[in-house]
Structure 1
C-alpha cells in the first residue's frame, strides 16, 4: 500500500517520519514520501554517521522519484563518504542528464577531481557551478584552494576576493588571503587590502588580526600592536591575537610586557608548549636564566618533541658556563631537528669552550654545510684553528668563506690578522685593501682580534689613506 504524501519541517516531524520509514522497512511495506521528506530522512542518517542506511533510503527515494536529480547527487555524496569514487562519478553523470543547472553536481565532481590531483578538470567543474549557484562564496573558496595547490597564488587571491565580495564575513577566506599574500611576499598589498576591508567591516576581528600579521612581517611592530588591540577589543577571548601581540612586543625588545601578554592567552585557552617557550625566550633575553629555564622545562613537559624548548634549556646553561651540561640539551634538540644550523653552532661552541676541538670541528663543519652564508661560523671555526696554532687551516677556512661570502668585510679583516700572524705581509695588505674597499667603517674589527696591529705603521698608513 502507498501512504499519503508526507512532509515535515520540525525536528519532531523529522523523527516521526524516520520512525514511519523504519516501520515500513520492518513491515516490508511501501509507504509514499514526497522528495523533501526523503531528503530529510537521508540527512538524518548522515548526521547519525550511518551512510549505509542513508544509501538504502536513497534507493527507496529513487524508486518513487526516479527523475529527481537531487537524489542522484545525494547518492554520489554518500558514495564519496564510503570511498566508492567510481560509483560517485556515475551518479553525478546521471544527475547531470536530468538537471544540468544543479550547482551541487559540479561542486561534488570538482571535489572528486581535486582529490585525484586533476586540478584543471576540477576548475572547469567549479566554474560551471559558479554559473548556476545563488551563493558563490564557498565555490570561490574551493577554486582558490585549487589555485593554491597549483602554486598560482595570484589567481587564488582573485577568487578569495570574490568570496569576500559574496560574503564579507567569511573568516576562512580572510586567513587564506593572508597566507597567499605572505607566500608572494606582498605585505604592502596585503595591508592595503585589509585597510580597505576594515573601512567596510570595522568590526571584523579577523581582518584586524591579519592586518597585524602583515605589519609584524614588515617589522612595523607598533602598528601591529595597535591592530591586535583592535582585534582583542572586538573579540576579547581571541588568544591568537594576544600571542601575536606578544611577538610584536618581543620585536620591540619589550620582553617583560611580552611575557605579561603571553600569560593573558592562558585566560582563554589551555597553556601550550609554544607559548611557554616564547616566555622562556623573553626571560632569556632579560638574562633571568632560572625563570627562562623554568618555562623551557614547562614547554618540553607539554611537548617533548619541541626541539626549541630543549635548545633553550641548553642556552641557559651555556650562559651560566655550565657547558658540559648544555651539551645534553643541544644533542636532544638535534635529535628532533637535525638540520638546524643554530643548534649545531651552539653544540660546537660548547665543545670549543670545553677544549674538545675535534667534536667542535665536526659541529662547525655541519653548520658550514647547512648555513654557508652565516658569517659567524667562518669566523668562529677559523678562530678555533688559529687559537690551536693551526694558522694554515684557519687561513684555508676563511678563504673558503670569502669565496661564498665575497661581500662580507668581516672575513677580509679577520684574514688580514691571520696572514700577519703567519708572516704573509704582502697578502695581508692585499686583503686589507679589499676590506677597506668593501666597508671601511668596520676597520676596528681588525684591532679587536689582533690589538698589536695598532702599532703597525704600514697598516695605519693604509687605514688613513682609505678612512680620511
Structure 2
C-alpha cells in the first residue's frame, strides 16, 4: 500500500518515543528508521532537553551514518549549548556527505555571527543563499550581521530583499523600522511603509511602523490614524494602543489617552509602563489622587520604575507636601542618578523648604547633567542672587550663556546681575547682545528688576533697537 511510504502518524511517532525510552530502561539496542529518530530528537528539543536530544542523535548516527539531517541537528544543538567546536566538527562531517545542503552554511554562519567573525559569517550565508530555495531568513541573518558591523544602509538593502521573498515576515518589518530609526531617516521609512501598504494593506505591522515613523516626526494626528488601522486589522494589538496613547498625550488629549491606555489591559496583563503613563495623564489633568494611585500601582509592579517614583513626588509637590515629595525624588534619583529633571524637582523642593545649601547642590547637578536647560540656569542663579551671592549669580549666568549662546533670556538676566554689581559698562554690552538676539523679550529685564525701568542708559539702548 502507498501509505507505507508516508512518515509515521502522530500516534506512531509518539509510540517511537515510548519505544526509545523503553530501550533505555532495558539497556538494549532497538532499530528505528530515520523518520522515527527525527521525531524523537524533535520531541526532546521541544521539551527543552538538549542533552537527551544529543543522546538520541548519537544513536541515530550509529544506525544511519549517512543521514546528514542528524549531523545538522547535532550541530544546531551544540550551538544552543555553546559548544561551537563540536558544532564545527559536525558541520564538517555533514559537508563531506552533502556539500549542497544550505543548512550547513547557515549554521556555520550563525556560529561566526555569534563570535563576531562577521566576514566569515557573510561568506557562509552567501553560500547558503546560492543553495537554498527559500532565502528570506538567510537574507535577514545577513542584515543582522551588517547591523552588528554598524552598516545600517546595507542592512536595509538585505531586509528589503528578504521582504520581497516573504512579505509576511514581521521581524523584517520591525528590523527595517529600527535601521531607519538609527539612521534618522523617518521620511524614507514612511515612503517604504506606504508603498508596502499599497501592496499589502492588511499588514498590521506595516501600519504600526508607519505610525511610529509619523510619531517620530511629531506628526501625531497621522500617527494616530496609522495606529487605528493597525488596531482595526489586529484588534488585540496592545503595542498599537499604547503608542496611540502616547501620541494622544503629545496632543494634550489626556482623557482620550487614559481610555486608550486602559484598552491595552483587555489584551495583555497590566504592566508598570502603562500604569505610569496613565498616572502622568492624571497628573497633567491635575487629578493628583488618581495620578498617585496609578504611580503606586506602577512601582508595586516594578520597583525600579524611576519615573513612577518621581511622579508620586510630583503629586505631593503639587499639594505643597514638599518634605514628603523629597523622599520619592530621592528614590527616583537612586535609580537614575543622572536624570536632570529629577534633580531639578529636588532642588525646587529644597528651596521651598528653605534648605538653601541642599537646593544649590541639587541645582549644580541639574546643570551638570543638562547644561541646555535654560530654566534651570535662571532658577539656580536666582537662588544665588537671593542669598546675596551676586558675583556667583553672574558667574553662573556666564556659564549658562556659554552653553546656550542663542538664549536671549540669559543675556537679559546677566544685565540685571551686572547692574546689581555696579558693572554698568558690561551690563550695557550684554543688553545690546540680548536685544540683537531677541528684542521682543526685553520685558524680562523689567520683570526681574522693575527699578531698571527708570534707568535712562538702559532705556536709551532699548529705544535704539525697538521702534
Alignment of 1:286 with 2:285, yes or no, is: yes
Corresponding residue for residue 394 of structure 2: 395
Corresponding residue for residue 182 of structure 1: 181
Alignment of 1:50 with 2:55, yes or no, is: no
Corresponding residue for residue 99 of structure 2: 100
How much has 1:384 moved relative to structure 2? 0.5
Report matched runs for 1:71-86 at 5 Å.
71-86=70-85
Q: Distance in 2 between matches of 1:30 and 1:7?
A: 25
Query: Aligned with 1:121: secondary structure?
Result: helix
Report matched runs for 1:361-376 at 5 Å.
361-376=360-375
How much has 1:208 moved relative to structure 2? 0.7
Q: Distance in 2 between matches of 1:148 and 1:201?
A: 26
Alignment of 1:195 with 2:194, yes or no, is: yes
Corresponding residue for residue 87 of structure 1: 86
How much has 1:437 moved relative to structure 2? 1.3
After superposing on structure 2, the runs of 4+ consecutive aligned residues of structure 1 that deviate more than 6 Å are none
How much has 1:353 moved relative to structure 2? 1.5
Cα deviation digits, residues 103-160 of structure 1 (max 9, x gap) = 1111111121222122222122112111111111211221222222222111111111
How much has 1:98 moved relative to structure 2? 1.9
Structure 1, gaps ≥5 residues long: none
Corresponding residue for residue 457 of structure 1: 456
Q: TM-score of the superposition, structure 2-length normalised? A: 0.95
Alignment of 1:258 with 2:257, yes or no, is: yes
Report matched runs for 1:35-184 at 5 Å.
35-184=34-183
Given that 1:7 and 1:33 are in contact with CA atoms closer than 8 Å, whether structure 2 keeps it comes out as no
Query: Aligned with 1:389: secondary structure?
Result: coil
Query: Aligned with 2:401: secondary structure?
Result: helix
Q: Distance in 1 between matches of 2:52 and 2:417?
A: 81
Given that 1:7 and 1:36 are in contact with CA atoms closer than 8 Å, whether structure 2 keeps it comes out as no
Q: Distance in 2 between matches of 1:210 and 1:459?
A: 55
Cα deviation digits, residues 202-248 of structure 1 (max 9, x gap) = 01111111111111111101101111111111111111111111111
Corresponding residue for residue 354 of structure 1: 353
How much has 1:172 moved relative to structure 2? 1.2
Q: Distance in 2 between matches of 1:116 and 1:222?
A: 44
Question: Residues 87, 6 of structure 1: CA spacing in aligned structure 2 closer, same or farther, 3 A cutoff?
Answer: farther
Q: TM-score of the superposition, structure 1-length normalised? A: 0.95
Report matched runs for 1:286-435 at 5 Å.
286-435=285-434
Q: Distance in 1 between matches of 2:368 and 2:111?
A: 43
Q: Distance in 2 between matches of 1:87 and 1:449?
A: 75
Given that 2:343 and 2:366 are in contact with CA atoms closer than 8 Å, whether structure 1 keeps it comes out as yes
Question: Residues 430, 116 of structure 1: CA spacing in aligned structure 2 closer, same or farther, 3 A cutoff?
Answer: same
Structure 2, gaps ≥5 residues long: none
Q: Distance in 1 between matches of 2:260 and 2:24?
A: 60
Q: Distance in 2 between matches of 1:163 and 1:73?
A: 24
How much has 1:31 moved relative to structure 2? 5.0
Q: Which moved more, 1:381-390 or 1:13-22?
A: 13-22
How much has 1:275 moved relative to structure 2? 1.1
Corresponding residue for residue 267 of structure 2: 268
Q: Distance in 2 between matches of 1:44 and 1:360?
A: 64
Q: Distance in 2 between matches of 1:283 and 1:102?
A: 59
How much has 1:447 moved relative to structure 2? 1.7
Q: Which moved more, 1:48-57 or 1:253-262?
A: 48-57
Query: Aligned with 1:443: secondary structure?
Result: helix
Cα deviation digits, residues 90-111 of structure 1 (max 9, x gap) = 1111111222211111111112
Question: Residues 274, 27 of structure 1: CA spacing in aligned structure 2 closer, same or farther, 3 A cutoff?
Answer: closer
Q: Distance in 2 between matches of 1:32 and 1:207?
A: 50
Question: Residues 216, 424 of structure 1: CA spacing in aligned structure 2 closer, same or farther, 3 A cutoff?
Answer: same
Q: Which moved more, 1:228-237 or 1:456-465?
A: 456-465
Given that 2:8 and 2:35 are in contact with CA atoms closer than 8 Å, whether structure 1 keeps it comes out as no
Q: Distance in 1 between matches of 2:99 and 2:139?
A: 20
How much has 1:42 moved relative to structure 2? 2.1
Cα deviation digits, residues 155-209 of structure 1 (max 9, x gap) = 1111111121111111111111111111111111111111001111101111111
Given that 1:6 and 1:32 are in contact with CA atoms closer than 8 Å, whether structure 2 keeps it comes out as no
Question: Residues 71, 195 of structure 1: CA spacing in aligned structure 2 closer, same or farther, 3 A cutoff?
Answer: same
Q: Distance in 1 between matches of 2:26 and 2:356?
A: 86
How much has 1:454 moved relative to structure 2? 2.1
